[in-house]
Structure 1
């Protein structure tokens, strides 16, 4: 029994004392992501573990370093968008981690950032010229770290200005469509126009026959053999039903119809002596 307890204690000691050491082993094997995670776990148990702090910093630097090499290989293979996506992710990690690295890594990062920025601005211009300002906007929105990490540039400002003008023009064209009374088109156009800072300016009203802005309940209850007509007595039930209605596809706040619904049922109860009332 004593021998078993000793073995259990030894196993626990090895497991508990080796988190930082496990991180070191993973780092030496080149498994930097796993090492970073393990060092983090060690610091969660002991925030003052200086060895884990140092290991975490080294692992994060290597993650950035290796990642930049992969970015360069992707760029040389002409996978420019994939390279830009990976670089954006690395820059976000760097900003979150606040890591400091050597001048060699910094130079590689600057070179790849410049190449990706030139590519992205070129693609943004191409999308605008092709009549797809929303695609151009998406490229900017998903690569802000690359495009604006060191501040904006005249080229970026020029393409964004051209893109906004193109988007507003497309917004105006969408608003002029003859199906502008369609609620789903209106919702789409309204959101699309808001992307370019424009509000929906169409004066068309929503007149879809199946859309309602409100609901009214008419109740018909049967108690024993007597017909009873009355309004809904429970405000809580009424509120719950109206809330459920607003979550359906038949509700729209700008519609001008009220949906009339009938609720019917039989109400009956009996006391403990089973006498009907």
Structure 2
């Protein structure tokens, strides 16, 4: 039996790959080369030897490069050299990733655009080197690594290194002057920044971060008024462990703190099951042999209706759960309350009478443990989001000048696109938070 099953599985797999290739072909014919390439890649993930998928992917990728080069030219002609350079850099990175080489007209167009970009790169490098913003130059090198390599500009860039290093060291020392007191995030950033520019500094702070916590406690109030209290207690205990772990993974936790965060966690479950004992009847037909009323010497088959009466238990369940947590963090209340109710009707009996097609029936009671689990799971997610929301509220607002750097760094950890964050980074370094994050592993 195994061989036919294997053949069937293989046939289904090949059919799925064929379908993906056919869909990719249709998208390719519509000029949707990116989408077509994605389907060919998916087909090859299922069958790496699929020749049609390999051919389709190669052709689609060539078309992606063709279209990209057209976009590069249009951007350049419109005077948008930055956009053209970014697009051409993406093309070069993809060609390397895809092991793709240009030929013929495509190669000619690419070489022409590279020539234009090489001139722009040299002017841009010189301008950035003289801007006294060394991070802009460093980001320029990172952003256009393939273009710069293609232009063979390593020797030309070297001439700027001494001045850039001097500017970087100077910026490091300027930042280090502001590291004191409770500026723990600024210290971490300045340490990495100065290390990158090979500038030794001595950074001193308070012994403990007074805004964060090094442990969290949960005081529990449990009222598990149900038949499954042991299992439910276990669920609550696991939930509290997960919430402790969530706090320790949040930005509010640090080993450099001294204080504890304290929360109250309440679980109140009420459950009632009522039963009513009744009788139920089932009518059914049987066939019996009777004397024919028309001819006493004959017998006939007659359908007779009978009634089977049996005892039944009718249950009514009422379940209510109220969950919640609350605590103070950074002078702000973090709290959430949730309640839910369930009503369930079910029956049971032990009757077993084949002629009436009656079999024993088990009651379908509420699974109280699963109900509680379903309520606890979103509560954990809400707790995490509340901690993040409070962090944003605390640090992603415009702040006084003396704390703007610290707050920008704290806010950037959770909201790197915040205008306040990027305004400070562009003002100080000439690039946004994500660029600095890439350069210095913030």
Using the size of structure 2 for normalisation, the TM-score is 0.43
The separation in 1 between residues aligned to 2:94 and 2:187, in whole angstroms, is: 39
- The secondary structure found in structure 1 opposite 2:135 is helix
The separation in 1 between residues aligned to 2:15 and 2:260, in whole angstroms, is: 72
Pair 1:51 & 2:57 matched: no
- The secondary structure found in structure 2 opposite 1:93 is helix
Deviation at 1:96, TM superposition (A): 0.9
Deviation at 1:89, TM superposition (A): 1.4
The separation in 2 between residues aligned to 1:57 and 1:245, in whole angstroms, is: 48
Alignment of structure 1 residues 101-112 onto 2, 5 Å: 101-112=102-113
Residues 207-239 of structure 1: CA distance to partner in whole angstroms, max 9, x if unpaired? 567268977x9xxxxxxxxxxxxxxxxxxx9xx
Deviation at 1:77, TM superposition (A): 0.6
Deviation at 1:64, TM superposition (A): 0.8
The separation in 2 between residues aligned to 1:145 and 1:188, in whole angstroms, is: 28
- Give yes or no for contact 2:134–2:168 (8 Å, CA) kept in 1: yes
Deviation at 1:42, TM superposition (A): 3.1
Deviation at 1:150, TM superposition (A): 5.9
Which stretch shifts more, 90-99 or 140-149? 140-149
Structure 2 equivalent of residue 210 of structure 1:
210
Change (3 A) 1:135 1:24: same
The separation in 1 between residues aligned to 2:29 and 2:262, in whole angstroms, is: 73
Alignment of structure 1 residues 45-124 onto 2, 5 Å: 45-124=46-125
Change (3 A) 1:251 1:16: closer
- Give yes or no for contact 2:40–2:57 (8 Å, CA) kept in 1: yes
Number of matched pairs: 228
Deviation at 1:84, TM superposition (A): 1.4
The separation in 2 between residues aligned to 1:150 and 1:117, in whole angstroms, is: 6
Q: RMSD of the TM alignment (CA)?
A: 3.9
Greater C-alpha radius of gyration: 2
- The secondary structure found in structure 2 opposite 1:106 is helix
Change (3 A) 1:25 1:245: closer
Write 1 or 2 for the structure with the bigger share of strand. 2
Deviation at 1:97, TM superposition (A): 0.6
- Give yes or no for contact 1:68–1:87 (8 Å, CA) kept in 2: yes
The separation in 2 between residues aligned to 1:57 and 1:113, in whole angstroms, is: 23
Residues 77-132 of structure 1: CA distance to partner in whole angstroms, max 9, x if unpaired? 11111111111211111111111331332232233234334424433432342332
Unaligned 5+ segments in structure 2 are 1-13, 218-239, 264-442
Deviation at 1:166, TM superposition (A): 1.5
Unaligned 5+ segments in structure 1 are 1-12, 218-236, 264-277
Residues 53-92 of structure 1: CA distance to partner in whole angstroms, max 9, x if unpaired? 2221111111111101111110111111111111121111
Which stretch shifts more, 18-27 or 60-69? 18-27
